[in-house]
Structure 1
Amino acid sequence: MARTFPFTAIAGQDEMKLALVIAAVDPAIGGVLITGDRGTGKSTAVRGLAAVLPAIRSVTGCPYRCGPEDPADGCPHCSEHFPKGLRRPLLLEPVRVVDLPLAATEDRVLGSLDIEQALVHGRKRFEPGLLARAHRGFLYIDEVNLLEDHIVDLLLDVAASGENIVEREGLSIRHRSRFVLVGSGNPEEGDLRPQLLDRFGLSVEVTSPDDIDIRIEAVKRREAFDNDPDAFLASVAREEVRLSRRIAQGRGRLATVDVSDMIRRAIAALCMKLGTDGLRGELTLIRAARAVAALEGAASVAPTHLRQVAPLALRHRLRRNPMDEAGSRLRVERAVAEAWAA
């Protein structure tokens, strides 16, 4: 079995790692968009984080990845095999990372009629797609800016409702599909559709490290992993366990973290100053700041938490200003400083 490079061993790229950990603590935040250079550890970080997350409980044999909190009558498999409140057996399994290829068809994404069952047995049976496999896990799209428009529309519908509905070929199927959407791509190869861009809760920009020591350390760690994966994984096992516990504890504290009216006012003033459309930016910023506070064990959100996550939550929601040559992160940091000073 292929080994996953450990998340905690990734050298540099602190902003990307923070964004992914925040999304792991609060999956409802809307996912993470990672843009920038190739070979900067984007897919490695996603898979590494999934490997370190606490295992989840799933219904044994359910192809829709139902958990104990998912109602049986909302799943085609569970409603058929466990009627009238019959107890569903559970098993522990790792969090999945499901890749959505650019060439994926609508049938592969949504699910379709099982042709073999139809031809051999004459039965209409639904074959779940990628959205079923990604439930309660990660859906990863490399070069998301090149994704075909009709697939983008499907993702937008499911991301908004948390449910996949398929009605075709005499089938009518409905199942839950809640996942952390992670997209990566190079902006030089094309822009992301505004509708999909707005759906991502957090956005980070990654570049090749410009610190020679970090570059050397990154290469050394990769070489050590490739030469002896078992020894390398053992050397970082304690850090991996520490991160797993920290995420689990953050999830447990999340609902109790307080957001004061003063913080809410500061967030609203910041979004107004930056000219973000709608209220999604404010809601995401509150969620992200609360997640960071929960990770740190704080009882309430503080200004330091806002400063940490404001660029992640707002940089991709800014309107383009041809008169301002500053990058999106600098614009957000400048607005944070000015709004808080006021």
Structure 2
Amino acid sequence: MARFPFSAIVAQDEMKQALLIAAVDPAIGGVMVFGDRGTGKSTAARALAGLLPPITAHQNCAYGGSKEDAERYPDVCGGGPLRKRPVPFVDLPLGATEDRVIGSLDLERALRSGEKGFEPGLLAKAHRGFLYIDEINLLEDHLVDLLLDVAASGENVVEREGLSVRHPARFVLIGSGNPEEGELRPQLLDRFGLSVEVRTPVELDTRVEIMRRVAQNERSPEEFAEKWAPEDAKILKQIASGAKRLEKLEASEDVLKDAAQLCLVVGADGLRGELTLMRAARALAALEGARTVKREHMIAVAPSALRHRLRRDVLDETGSTVRINRAIEELFG
């Protein structure tokens, strides 16, 4: 089935912004999307992966490794000529075992030749792409912990059954779920870079436009994709230029103080809030082609960078997003 064009997705602006930020700076730490069913969570993630240009990888590398990967991991990244591959998009099913996720002993090879070999798992397949987990709040905690560790380090280390394998595993982790079906542990949720809330649109015109576009895509996917290709091309150019501009962007002392003050006022746990807030603000500024990171960029990403890091206040039962917006209004007007 043809992917739905990213630029054709109606509304859900915060979710699309978070995904674009993660595409510009994969080190942001992944995106957690909580919200109602049928609100385009997986559609948006797949659309972004399909939008990105193909990666260049060695033909014989089971990990989709780049030239740099082959030099750094010569034991696992096979050589061969370089070929273009689509950006990986891997679904991790809820029932997946740890062996399927991280990889395991290649039993067929062991039985056939008596040699120990490694069978790459889903983490290897997701290298240089996206790993998507629907209903991540229902996934076993030890697997979520493992995934977050690998996503942060960029490599997977497997030591079991006499095997010792280290291979690259750099990917953007995207989790989605419905809060009504169970909460994600706060210490795990905190390690996601951005957290986004999506809701079913309540505007009549928005719901009608969604139905119209879905019907057009189902009737003629090729024609619909061609119609939105120019807009997708603009987004792709925006991502590419943003990634190049990212390293040169810096925030002023005033913006850094603003970020720290906001985190203090809302009661964000630890220092990960400030660090992620400024990293996301920098990526947004790069996307927008700005020359410096401004307070406006920091404010724009504050809810998604901080809402999942707030301490519970027994005297204030308002939601995290409301508390953040209220603090922004008090501090900056």
| Deviations 1:230-272, CA, capped at 9 Å, x for gaps | 1111110101111111110110101111210000000011111
Q: CA deviation at 1:154?
A: 1.6
Q: Single out whichever of 144-153 and 33-42 deviates more from structure 2.
A: 144-153
Structure 1 SS opposite 2:69: coil
Whole-angstrom distance in 1 between the partners of 2:161 and 2:269: 40
Q: CA deviation at 1:71?
A: 5.0
| Deviations 1:145-186, CA, capped at 9 Å, x for gaps | 011122123213313322211111111101121111100001
What amino acid maps onto 1:40 in structure 2? T
8 Å CA contact 2:15–2:33 kept in 1: the answer is yes
Q: CA deviation at 1:336?
A: 1.6
8 Å CA contact 1:30–1:200 kept in 2: the answer is yes
Could you say which residue in structure 1 is the equivalent of 2:68? 69
**Correspondent of 1:310 among 302, 305, 313:** 302
Could you say which residue in structure 2 is the equivalent of 1:329? 321
Whole-angstrom distance in 1 between the partners of 2:60 and 2:207: 44
The number of residues matched between the two structures is 333
Structure 1 SS opposite 2:67: coil
8 Å CA contact 1:253–1:294 kept in 2: the answer is yes
8 Å CA contact 2:6–2:48 kept in 1: the answer is yes
Structure 2 SS opposite 1:76: coil
Could you say which residue in structure 2 is the equivalent of 1:150? 142
Normalised by the length of structure 1, the TM-score is 0.94
8 Å CA contact 1:20–1:32 kept in 2: the answer is yes
Q: CA deviation at 1:64?
A: 1.4
5 Å matches for 1:1-342? 2-78=1-77, 81=78, 89-341=81-333
Give percent identity, aligned residues only: 60
8 Å CA contact 2:29–2:152 kept in 1: the answer is no
Whole-angstrom distance in 1 between the partners of 2:81 and 2:72: 16
What amino acid maps onto 1:335 in structure 2? A
Whole-angstrom distance in 1 between the partners of 2:75 and 2:185: 33
8 Å CA contact 2:76–2:167 kept in 1: the answer is no
| Deviations 1:76-119, CA, capped at 9 Å, x for gaps | 333xx55xxxxx63222221111111100010001011111112
Structure 1 SS opposite 2:64: coil
Whole-angstrom distance in 2 between the partners of 1:95 and 1:255: 23
Structure 1 SS opposite 2:33: strand
Whole-angstrom distance in 1 between the partners of 2:142 and 2:148: 10
What amino acid maps onto 1:34 in structure 2? V
- Structure 1 gaps, min length 5: 83-87
Q: CA deviation at 1:55?
A: 2.2
Change (3 A) 1:218 1:75: farther
Normalised by the length of structure 2, the TM-score is 0.96
| Deviations 1:193-223, CA, capped at 9 Å, x for gaps | 2232011100111011000100000011001
8 Å CA contact 1:75–1:176 kept in 2: the answer is no
Q: Single out whichever of 322-331 and 179-188 deviates more from structure 2.
A: 322-331
